[in-house]
């Protein structure tokens, strides 16, 4: 039968266990029992797992709302609905008329069915009619029961967003606003076309907000898939009542995306000392509760030559990191098991309940003074560092991968960048080692977002939703942190500073470097050209053309081969009679001594230089064993092991029976028998012509060039 497994885990209230970190907290409870049961699905590669949590975690649902939505519901499929006031929000098809609603797979009773079938205009109209219906007469198109109430509740934020869009002074730095519910309902402004597989509840900004209920949570920086560059997200949970702030009672999460440079601009405005020397000696930074930097001089430096994502304080400020690790109850180094890639992750967690300021604890660090304090109501900290002299501090940070320096030991006060070690798993049983089995599971990895491509013709026809007029901004303060704008400071070589800095769109000088390549595929125009070119290639008859070309090539190759083969045959046929006449190589006079040959050496060299040789490999038939024994037979007790052991005076134990020499070109025996060989016809013809020529004309043959060679032939015949 198919194996069945089960396990019960006791989870403390303050402990983390995968996604339960956001749900296993409640006042008055000490621990939860989480029961797992799993079984393989027969004839498939899937395993079904059931999780039961006791006592049951209370989950509050929004009550039925009979109110009419405050605004018209607009589904995010603008490409199907044909929105008349559509525009482009960077790379996304969007509209400023109203926020759009997106229903992710979690909003449907059958998520897989929703993802596996394409959305049509008729389906979108059905969704819109059901969600906007206050009479409850329209049939449910497959949505969960509470989805309609969540759409109704989130509609009341629309008016506030529209007002802020007109009046807020921060609009030039805000990329988008959105709100998401636990069932996967997303409302976003400017209304944008989203990817069908997008799930807001699995994004980092959502998970971090739920893990920090009641706090404004910083997430990022990260590269915005919509084309806005690097952004930082501020998110906050929405609760059922102000008195209850536990994570299990969050009914929604609201978020807002800012440009990366906006936060450093805020630092410089609030703390002018941060920009006194360009951030060389006095540096200001913002970091979130895991130690990752949100704002730092190196994140905006055009010469940084490094990605701005996942930059940790241990890497950028090792002096500060070494000191704060010695402060008790402020930072803790944690472990968790990541089963998806079989690693043990090491990460930091900073205490967001810090009261007051944090300063140098270790005496003697006179070169670097710092002050760190918590930003009230958030999960972030702001710090300022003053370096008066050069000093060194060591934090183990791999510049190649994320492997830890020492995987066998972890000390709380040892400075190291967040890293990972291999997770030791028994390949036979699947069990972990005793030490690693005590580690909690890591958070679910964030799934990569995908961009929904739009018709290339729309990219050229539609205008940008927000035009910040970067070319008209002459001051760095007016350009810094503004949407789609970069303050260009460095020339295209990445080293030389411009004589005069200026403001330009991101596609012209991304990161402040003129002509720098964008981290995206390319700008919109280039993407459109690539898509058009690709469509032209797809529409062309590639198959028939390629087949015709290959056929022509094959015919040409065969023709060349046949031509060369024919030329080769003709050359052999013309060569055969000439070769017989020119190969007058006499191997007679075998008894001439060495002295006579020495006298003729000069003449022989001349003969060799004017003589052409044709070599033929001849193998005699197996029906002539007597001839094979006569010339090639050896004693059964003698072996030369690859070396010749014969002496000129015959060292064999068996005396020769015949001392007649083996002559080439001389009539020896029956020539008809000698020509009975496994040779090609041309070779046989050549040899036949040669032998008959020698046999008929040898007595009167007088050639100007003769080649004479002394040959000693040894024959052994065991039967004589």
Residue 571: per-residue pLDDT? 65
Contacts of residues 650-659 at CB distance under 8 Å and 24 or more positions apart, as own/partner, are 650/714, 652/714, 652/716, 654/716, 654/717, 654/718, 654/720, 655/720, 656/714, 656/715, 656/716, 656/717, 656/720, 657/715, 657/717, 657/720, 658/630, 658/715, 658/717, 659/715
Residue 547: per-residue pLDDT? 75
- Is residue 108 scored above 90 in pLDDT? yes
Global pTM exceeds 0.85:
no
Q: How far apart are CA 423 and CA 409, in angstroms?
A: 14
- Is residue 702 scored above 80 in pLDDT? no
Residue 334 — very low, low, confident or very high, per pLDDT cuts 50/70/90? very high
Evaluate whether residue 249 is within a structural domain. yes
More confident residue, 405 or 63: 405
- Is residue 415 scored above 90 in pLDDT? yes
Of the listed ranges 12-16, 125-129, 581-585, the least confidently predicted one is: 581-585
Evaluate whether residue 547 is within a structural domain. no
- What residues are paired with 284 via a beta bridge? 384
Q: How far apart are CA 631 and CA 503, in angstroms?
A: 97
Evaluate whether residue 587 is within a structural domain. yes
- Is residue 625 scored above 70 in pLDDT? no
Of the listed ranges 351-360, 609-618, 694-703, the least confidently predicted one is: 609-618
265-294 tens-digit pLDDT: 999 899 888 887 766 789 999 999 999 999
- Is residue 523 scored above 70 in pLDDT? no
- Is residue 154 scored above 70 in pLDDT? yes
- Is residue 17 scored above 50 in pLDDT? no
- Is residue 705 scored above 90 in pLDDT? no
Q: How far apart are CA 684 and CA 687, in angstroms?
A: 5
More confident residue, 124 or 1: 124
Q: 230 and 333: one domain?
A: no
* Contact yes or no for 442/338 (Cβ under 8 A): yes
Evaluate whether residue 130 is within a structural domain. yes
Which of 58-72, 194-208, 265-279, 454-468 is most confident? 194-208
Residue 128: per-residue pLDDT? 93
Residue 177: per-residue pLDDT? 97
Residue 241 — very low, low, confident or very high, per pLDDT cuts 50/70/90? low
pLDDT over 90, % of the chain: 36
Residue 711 — very low, low, confident or very high, per pLDDT cuts 50/70/90? low
Look-up of token digits 């019960």: 8
Average pLDDT over residues 130-134: 89
Residue 691: per-residue pLDDT? 42
More confident residue, 295 or 561: 295
Give CA separation, 611 vs 580, 604, 665, 710, in Å. 12, 10, 16, 18
- Is residue 310 scored above 50 in pLDDT? yes
Of the listed ranges 345-359, 449-463, 619-633, the least confidently predicted one is: 619-633
Residue 317 — very low, low, confident or very high, per pLDDT cuts 50/70/90? very high
Residue 30 — very low, low, confident or very high, per pLDDT cuts 50/70/90? low
- Is residue 319 scored above 60 in pLDDT? yes
Q: 275 and 409: one domain?
A: yes
- Is residue 641 scored above 70 in pLDDT? no
Q: 402 and 462: one domain?
A: no
Evaluate whether residue 511 is within a structural domain. yes
Q: 476 and 458: one domain?
A: no
The candidate with the shortest Cα–Cα distance to 483, out of 259, 299, 308, 263, is 259
Residue 623: per-residue pLDDT? 45
For every residue of 41-62, DSSP letters joined together read: PTTSS-EEEEEEEESPPP---P
Evaluate whether residue 719 is within a structural domain. no
Evaluate whether residue 707 is within a structural domain. no
> For residue 212, what are its two tokens?
């920090």
Residue 660 — very low, low, confident or very high, per pLDDT cuts 50/70/90? very low
Give the count of domains, the chain.
5
More confident residue, 627 or 380: 380
* Contact yes or no for 226/253 (Cβ under 8 A): no
Average predicted confidence (pLDDT) for the chain: 76
Evaluate whether residue 709 is within a structural domain. no
Q: 86 and 155: one domain?
A: yes
Q: 451 and 408: one domain?
A: no
Residue 720: per-residue pLDDT? 38
- Is residue 481 scored above 60 in pLDDT? yes
Give the Cα-Cα-Cα angle 596, 597, 603 (nearest 5 degrees).
115
156-196 tens-digit pLDDT: 888 899 888 888 889 999 999 999 999 999 999 999 999 99
pLDDT over 70, % of the chain: 68
Residue 67: per-residue pLDDT? 62
Q: How far apart are CA 444 and CA 49, in angstroms?
A: 17
Residue 709: per-residue pLDDT? 53
Residue 240 — very low, low, confident or very high, per pLDDT cuts 50/70/90? confident
Q: 191 and 120: one domain?
A: yes
Phi, psi (deg, nearest 5) at residue 640: -95, -5
CATH code, domain with 94: 3.30.450.20
The candidate with the shortest Cα–Cα distance to 655, out of 615, 566, 715, 606, is 715
Q: 136 and 169: one domain?
A: yes
Q: 77 and 21: one domain?
A: no
Q: 337 and 395: one domain?
A: yes
Q: 163 and 211: one domain?
A: yes
Residue 121: per-residue pLDDT? 94
Average pLDDT over residues 487-493: 91
Question: What SS3 state is found at 326?
Answer: coil
The candidate with the shortest Cα–Cα distance to 237, out of 201, 204, 202, 212, is 212
Average pLDDT over residues 420-435: 81
Domain residues for the domain of 432 are 271-444
Q: 645 and 522: one domain?
A: no
Give CA separation, 361 vs 183, 292, 324, 330, in Å. 47, 22, 8, 12
């Amino acid at each position: 039968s198919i194996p069945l497994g089960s396990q019960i885990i006791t989870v403390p209230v303050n402990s983390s266990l995968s996604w339960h970190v956001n749900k296993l907290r409640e006042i008055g409870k000490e621990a939860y029992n989480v029961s797992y049961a799993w079984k393989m699905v027969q004839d498939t590669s899937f395993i079904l797992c059931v999780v039961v949590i006791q006592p049951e975690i209370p989950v509050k649902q929004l009550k039925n709302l009979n109110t009419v939505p405050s605004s018209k519901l607009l589904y995010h499929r603008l490409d199907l609905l044909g929105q008349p006031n559509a525009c482009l929000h960077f790379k996304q098809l969007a509209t400023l008329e109203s926020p759009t609603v997106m229903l992710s797979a979690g909003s449907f009773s059958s998520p897989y069915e929703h993802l596996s079938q394409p959305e049509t205009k008729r389906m979108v109209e059905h969704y819109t009619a059901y969600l906007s219906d206050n009479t409850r007469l329209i049939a449910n198109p497959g949505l969960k029961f509470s989805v309609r109430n969540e759409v109704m509740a989130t509609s009341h934020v629309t008016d506030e967003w529209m007002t802020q869009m007109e009046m807020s002074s921060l609009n030039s730095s805000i990329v988008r606003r959105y709100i998401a519910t636990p069932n996967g309902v997303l409302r976003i402004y400017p209304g944008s076309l989203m990817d069908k597989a997008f799930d807001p509840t699995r994004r980092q900004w959502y998970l971090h907000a739920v893990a920090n209920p009641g706090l404004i949570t910083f997430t990022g920086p990260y590269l915005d898939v919509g084309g806005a560059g690097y952004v930082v997200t501020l998110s906050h949970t929405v609760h059922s009542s102000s008195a209850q702030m536990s994570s299990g009672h969050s009914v929604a999460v609201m978020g807002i995306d800012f440009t990366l440079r906006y936060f450093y601009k805020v630092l410089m405005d609030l703390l002018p000392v941060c920009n006194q020397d360009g951030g060389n000696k006095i540096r200001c930074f913002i970091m979130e509760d895991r130690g990752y930097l949100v704002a730092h001089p190196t994140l905006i430096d055009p010469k940084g030559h490094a990605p701005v994502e996942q930059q940790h304080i241990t890497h950028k400020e090792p002096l500060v990191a070494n000191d704060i690790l010695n402060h008790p109850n402020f930072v803790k180094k944690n472990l968790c098991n990541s089963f998806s890639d079989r690693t043990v992750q090491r990460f930091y967690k900073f205490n967001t309940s810090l009261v007051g300021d944090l300063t140098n604890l270790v005496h003697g660090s006179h070169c670097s003074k710092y002050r760190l304090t918590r930003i009230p109501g958030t999960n972030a900290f702001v710090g300022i560092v003053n370096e008066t002299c050069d000093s060194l501090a060591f934090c183990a940070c791999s510049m190649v991968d994320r492997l830890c320096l020492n995987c066998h030991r972890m000390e709380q006060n040892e400075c190291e960048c967040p890293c990972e070690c291999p997770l030791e798993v028994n390949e036979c049983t699947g069990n972990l080692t005793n030490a690693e089995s005590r580690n909690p599971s890591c958070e679910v990895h964030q799934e990569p977002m995908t961009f929904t491509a739009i018709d290339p013709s729309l990219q050229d026809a539609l205008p940008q939703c927000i035009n910040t007029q970067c070319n008209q901004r002459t001051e760095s303060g007016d350009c810094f942190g503004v949407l789609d704008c970069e303050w260009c400071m460095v020339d295209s070589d990445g080293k030389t500073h411009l004589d005069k800095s200026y403001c330009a769109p991101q596609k012209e000088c991304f990161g402040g470097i003129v002509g720098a390549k964008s981290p995206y595929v390319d700008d919109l125009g280039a993407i459109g050209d690539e898509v058009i070119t690709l469509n032209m290639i797809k529409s062309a008859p590639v198959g028939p053309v390629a087949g015709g070309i290959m056929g022509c090539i094959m015919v040409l190759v065969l023709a060349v081969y046949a031509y060369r083969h024919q030329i080769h045959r003709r050359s052999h046929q013309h060569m055969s009679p000439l070769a017989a006449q020119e190969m007058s190589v006499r191997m007679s006079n075998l008894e001439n001594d060495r002295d006579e040959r020495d006298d003729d050496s000069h003449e022989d060299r001349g003969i060799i230089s004017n003589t052409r040789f044709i070599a033929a490999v001849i193998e005699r038939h197996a029906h002539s064993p007597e001839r094979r024994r006569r010339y090639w037979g050896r004693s059964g007790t003698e072996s030369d092991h690859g070396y010749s052991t014969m002496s000129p005076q015959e060292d064999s134990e068996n005396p020769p029976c015949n001392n007649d020499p083996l002559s080439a070109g001389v009539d020896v025996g029956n020539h008809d028998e000698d020509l009975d060989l496994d040779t090609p016809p041309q070779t046989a013809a050549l040899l036949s012509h040669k032998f008959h020529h020698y046999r008929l004309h040898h007595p009167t043959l007088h050639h100007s060039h003769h080649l004479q060679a002394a040959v000693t032939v040894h024959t052994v015949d065991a039967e004589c």
